[in-house]
Amino acid sequence: MDQRSYNQYCAIARTLDLVGERWTLLLVRELLTGPKRFGDLQKSLRGMGTGLLAARLKHLEREGLTQKVTLPPPARTPAYALTEAGQELGPVVLGLSRWGMKWALGERREAEVFQPGWALLAMQASFDPQAAAGVRAVFEFRIDEEVFHVRVEDGEIETALGPAQRPDAVIETSGDRFARLAEGRWRLTDGLKDGSATATGDRQVVRLLGKLFRLPRPAAR
C-alpha cells in the first residue's frame, strides 16, 4: 500500500506521514497496553478490515514502530509489540486523550462501541501525580469480562492488562457503567451505594480513586 506524504520538511508533517493514516493511531493505542495477537487487534478494532489491519501493521513494522514478538508461556503465540520509537508515541496518544475528554468525548452515541480496556490510557491521562505523592496502592478492575490493574507508586502510575498479583482493592462493575463514568454521568461512590459496583479490599485505598484520577471538565468547542 502506497503511503501518502505531505512532502514537507517539518517534524509534524514527517510524523503524520508515519502515523496520520486512518486507524493507525488507534492501532498504536492498542499496542501501548502491551503486545497483541492479530486476532486481539481485530477484536478491538472492529470496522477495520483484515486486509487494512495487515497493511497498517506491515507499514508500522517497516517504519520501525512495531515488531513481531512471541508471547511468553503458556501462550507462545506470535504477536505484535511497539518498538522503543513506537512506545515514545505514548505521550502523544495521552495528550490526545486528555484533549478529547475535555473537548470531544461528550455523551456516548448509540452506534459507538466501548471496550473497558481503553480506560487504561484514559486513567494515565487523568492521573494526578501530585495527589499521588507518597501513595503506594494497587487497584484491580474487573469490568465485564476484562480485567486490568493499576499500580500507583509515589506519584507514578503503571497500568497493565490482566489481574494484579496482590491488589489492595478490587473494583467490579459493568462496561456500561464504566462508560458512563467517562461521560461524567455516574460515580463509583454512587455505584457502591446502589449495588451496581462492588469494591473489596482496603476501603481507604478505594476512597483514594476520587483523588488520584481527575477527569477534565468537558467544554464546548
Q: Give percent of the chain with pLDDT exceeding 70.
A: 99
Tens of pLDDT, residues 1-22: 456 899 999 999 999 999 999 9
**Chain mean pLDDT for the chain:** 93
CB 141 within 8 A of CB 148: yes
Alpha-carbon distance of 175 to 191, in angstroms, equals: 13
Q: Are 169 and 206 in contact (CB under 8 A)?
A: yes
pLDDT tens for 100-118 read 999 999 888 999 999 998 9
**How many Å apart are CA 114 and CA 110, to the nearest integer?**
11
pLDDT of residue 184: 74
Closest CA to 99 of 125, 67, 73, 131: 125
pLDDT value for 219: 92
Cα–Cα dist 110/135, whole Å = 39
**Confidence class for position 146, pLDDT limits 50, 70, 90:** very high
Q: Which domains does the chain have, with CATH numbers?
A: 11-88 (1.10.10.10), 116-212 (3.30.1050.10)
Whole-number pLDDT of residue 2 = 55
- Which pTM was predicted? 0.90
Predicted pLDDT of residue 75: 81
Q: What local confidence, expressed as pLDDT, does residue 1 receive?
A: 46
Helix (H, G, I), strand (E, B) or coil at 196: coil
What residues have CB less than 8 Å from 183, skipping those under 6 apart? 105, 106, 107, 108
Which is nearest to 175 in space by CA: 136, 216, 147, 200?
A: 147
Q: Predicted confidence band at 74 (pLDDT cuts at 50, 70, 90)?
A: confident
Q: Decide if pLDDT at 181 tops 90.
A: no
pLDDT for res 121: 92
